C-alpha cells in the first residue's frame, strides 16, 4: 500500500470529517448542543431585556402605595421602559419618597409642638376639612408659608372682638407656666375638649402678646 493510500484510509476513518471515533462524535454533539442551548437562552434574555414587558414585576422589598405603583407602571409603559429600566425607576421613586418623609419629620420636629398646635387650630378654623391635612403638611414643610399663616392668624386675633377666643382679657398676662399647666392637663385628659381648647386659647393669647 502506498503512502497516499494510507492517508486516504486515515481520512476515511474521521467521523463527520472531524472525529476519530463514535464516542468523540457523540461528545462533540453534546458539547455543541449545550452551547446552542446556552446561546438560545442568552438570546431570549437579551430580547426580554430590550423589549417592554406585558406586565412589569416590582422589585423585591419595595413597598409603595398601590395607586402610586399603578401610576408608575402607566408612565413606564408609555415611555416604553424595559423591566430593568422599570425596576430602576421604582427604586429611584422609593428613595425620593423616603427622603421626603425624612425631611418632613425633621421639619416637623424643628417647628415644635406648640407651634404645631397653633397651626392645627388655625387650619381647623379657617380651612375646609377636606384640605386641612394637606394644608398642615404645606405649612410644616414651607417656612415662608408657615410664617405667613402665623402672621395672618395674629392679625385675625388682633382684630377679633369675640372674647371667647381671647382668654387674655382684662390685662391678664399669659406665662409659659400657664401654658405648661394647660398642656399637662390636656395630656392627662385627652378626651376633655374644654381642656384642649383652653390650652389652644392660651397659645393664641401668648402669641398675641408677642405681636402686640
d(CA 26, CA 206): 94
Q: Going residue by residue through the chain (212 aa), what tens digit of pLDDT does each one get?
A: 455 555 555 555 665 566 666 676 567 666 665 666 666 676 666 666 567 788 888 887 777 788 888 898 998 888 888 888 888 888 898 888 889 899 999 999 999 998 999 898 888 888 888 888 999 999 999 999 899 888 888 777 765 434 444 444 445 678 888 888 888 888 887 777 777 778 888 887 877 777 66
Beta-carbon contacts of 149 under 8 Å, excluding residues fewer than 6 positions away, are 119, 122, 123, 139
How is residue 95 annotated by DSSP? H
Check if the beta carbon of residue 19 is closer than 8 Å to that of residue 28. yes
Closest CA to 14 of 24, 2, 5: 24
Angle at 143 between CA 141 and CA 147, to 5 degrees: 130
Amino acid at each position: 500500500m502506498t503512502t497516499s493510500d494510507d492517508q486516504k484510509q486515515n481520512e476515511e476513518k474521521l467521523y463527520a470529517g472531524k472525529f476519530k471515533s463514535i464516542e468523540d462524535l457523540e461528545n462533540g454533539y453534546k458539547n455543541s448542543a449545550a452551547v446552542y442551548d446556552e446561546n438560545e437562552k442568552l438570546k431570549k434574555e437579551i430580547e426580554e431585556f430590550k423589549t417592554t414587558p406585558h406586565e412589569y414585576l416590582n422589585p423585591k422589598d419595595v413597598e409603595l402605595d398601590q395607586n402610586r405603583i399603578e401610576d408608575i407602571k402607566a408612565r413606564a409603559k408609555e415611555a416604553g421602559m424595559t423591566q430593568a429600566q422599570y425596576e430602576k425607576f421604582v427604586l429611584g421613586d422609593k428613595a425620593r419618597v423616603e427622603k421626603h418623609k425624612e425631611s418632613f419629620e425633621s421639619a416637623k420636629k424643628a417647628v415644635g409642638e406648640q407651634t404645631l398646635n397653633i397651626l392645627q387650630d388655625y387650619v381647623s378654623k379657617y380651612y375646609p376639612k377636606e384640605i386641612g391635612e394637606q394644608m398642615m403638611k404645606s405649612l410644616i414643610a414651607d417656612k415662608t408659608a408657615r410664617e405667613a399663616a402665623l402672621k395672618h392668624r395674629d392679625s385675625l386675633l388682633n382684630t377679633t372682638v369675640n372674647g371667647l377666643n381671647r382668654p387674655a382679657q382684662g390685662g391678664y398676662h399669659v406665662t409659659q407656666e400657664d401654658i405648661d399647666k394647660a398642656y399637662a392637663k390636656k395630656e392627662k385628659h385627652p378626651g376633655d375638649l374644654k381642656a384642649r381648647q383652653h390650652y389652644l386659647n392660651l397659645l393664641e393669647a401668648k402669641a398675641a402678646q408677642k405681636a402686640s
